[in-house]
Amino acid sequence: MNEKVPKGRTKNASRHEEEKESNEMKIRTCPVFKRLSLSDISDPSSPMSVMDDLSNSFTSQKLRVFTLSELRVITHNFSRSNMLGEGGFGPVYKGFIDDKVKPGLEAQPVAVKALDLHGHQGHREWLAEIIFLGQLSNENLVKLIGFCCEEEQRVLVYEYMPRGSLENQLFRRNSVAMAWGIRMKIALGAARGLAFLHEAEKPVIYRDFKTSNILLDSNYNARLSDFGLAKDGPEGEHTHVTTRVMGTQGYAAPEYIMTGHLTTMNDVYSFGVVLLELITGKRSMDSTRARKEQSLVEWVRPMLRDQRKLGRIIDPRLECQYKTEAAQTAVALALKCLSQNPKYRPTMCEVVKVLESIQEVETRERNGNKEANKFFDTKKCRHYRKGKRHVNIAYSDSLLYKDSKTKQSNGI
Ligand SMILES: Nc1ncnc2c1ncn2[C@@H]1O[C@H](COP(=O)(O)OP(=O)(O)OP(=O)(O)O)[C@@H](O)[C@H]1O
Ligand SMILES: [Mg+2]
């Protein structure tokens, strides 16, 4: 039988190209698993329906469904002594899971977040968390292990983050001040988390970026938690999503508060606020401060433009143990993220690049100079030394530079 060979092709070449075409067809016809949205869930009130729908999703993690009685065992009956904290959703308890609780479960500590039935949040926030965290997986997002839905009760089970939230680490009274290097490492990790969300095939706007939603592992790797307010970004021709204004005072972008128009640039503004909190060691809103100083952004913004005022802005507890150039770059970055006009804000990918460059410079400096003292700018710090109480800084060479392996895993 004569094989039809198109003009200009040899028989072998033709077979090869046919194979290639057929492979391409296979790829093209392979079902595309799209990330599901809240509106795609057929029966949102049923955990089984949620699981069924999620199991068809490409990146779906293996979420586990827990019963309330299993969670009671895990948390010692939701005892107060196991409580890690409490937010708008409800109390969070520490627990421990292993394969005695459920076959196949890896032994590990967990954080169990239970809905406060008298609170403002409910099924919608619980479901949003499952829909987003059940499908998105990245080293800078907290891992959701499973959930529980029994009658009115809604519970979420996460991996346990040993250093808790950035809010607790940065602002807890009588705590040891966090070193500059650790602060920048956390900023970079959190920025990577946001960049991952914004750059996803179907972008996600996080909408609740703040220090209490940045959780820390034992090496200060940052992971974003709380997707209850997250939203799918605009699709197609649309430039924004219109929503009811929600979020936390002190972090939301001005144009979002004014119009309800949601874009990824709103998250960039919130990132600028958190970066400013890391730089200054001050909360974004504090009603105990003098009236003019209550909003950190409004108070500090005029000073951000003046490099001579750097010393006044940066957290005095750091006792000048940071590189001036690095601090200047971080301050300039915060200022850009906080631009009133969202057009002038950088994308999160650009933010990541700047923070990576800060880390590279600092790593080079440190590697060339192991003595922490040379990191200390004595001229800059004259006024701190005069009669100021010495503040301990959580700047531990052993923590950040134990050996070359740790150095790599810390990303520093
Ligand atoms: N996975 C986790 N590992 C360790 N601790 C956690 C974990 N999740 C939450 N926590 C602790 O529980 C506290 C409460 O968290 P939650 O997210 O419920 O509220 P919040 O962030 O403080 O407030 P909001 O409701 O405004 O988000 C956190 O500050 C943190 O200390
Ligand atoms: Mg939270």
Q: How far is CA 127 from the centre of its chain?
A: 19
Across the chain, mean pLDDT equals 81
**Which residues sit opposite 109 in a β-bridge?**
96
Q: What is the mean pLDDT of residues 60-72?
A: 87
Give per-residue pLDDT as tens, 329-350: 999 999 999 999 999 999 999 9
Q: Virtual CA dihedral for 191, 194, 198, 203, nearest 10 degrees?
A: 170
> Measured from the CA of 212, which atom of ligand 1 is nearest?
21
More confident residue, 53 or 66: 66
Amino acid making up residue 398: S
Domain ranges of the chain: 38-159, 166-409
In the reported structure, the alpha carbon of residue 213 is separated from the centroid of ligand 1 by a whole-number distance in angstroms of 7
Distance CA 32, CA 377 (A): 56
**Which residues sit opposite 94 in a β-bridge?**
111
Distance CA 261, CA 197 (A): 18
Distance CA 405, CA 408 (A): 5
Distance CA 256, CA 167 (A): 24
Give the residue whose CA is nearest to atom 19 of ligand 1: 87
Specify the long-range contacts of residues 148-154, CB closer than 8 Å, at least 24 apart: 148/47, 148/65, 148/66, 148/67, 148/68, 148/70, 148/71, 149/45, 149/46, 149/47, 149/65, 150/67, 150/68, 152/117, 153/68, 153/114, 153/115, 153/117, 154/114, 154/115, 154/122, 154/123, 154/126
Q: Which residues line ligand 1 (CB under 6 A)?
A: 84-89, 92, 111, 113, 142, 158, 160-161, 164-165, 167-168, 212-213, 215, 225-226
> Measured from the CA of 213, which atom of ligand 1 is nearest?
21
Question: What CATH class is the domain 38-159?
Answer: alpha beta
Q: Using an 8 Å Cβ cutoff, are 289 and 319 in contact?
A: no
Q: pLDDT band at residue 408, thresholds of 50, 70 and 90?
A: very low
Substitution site in 94, 212, 216, 227 for ligand 1 pocket (most atoms within 8 Å of beta carbon): 212
Mind spelling out the 3-state secondary structure of 3-14? CCCCCCCCHHHH
Which CATH number describes the domain made up of 166-409?
1.10.510.10
Contacts of 270 (CB under 8 A, 6+ apart): 206, 208, 209, 210, 247, 251, 252, 253
Contacts of 243 (CB under 8 A, 6+ apart): 231, 260, 262
Q: Using an 8 Å Cβ cutoff, are 233 and 264 in contact?
A: yes
Distance CA 150, CA 64 (A): 14
Catalytic machinery residues: 208
Q: What is the mean pLDDT of residues 280-300?
A: 93
Give per-residue pLDDT as tens, 292-322: 899 999 999 999 888 888 888 999 999 888 8
Give per-residue pLDDT as tens, 22-48: 444 333 333 445 777 777 776 767 666
Chain position carrying tokens 């005695």: 100
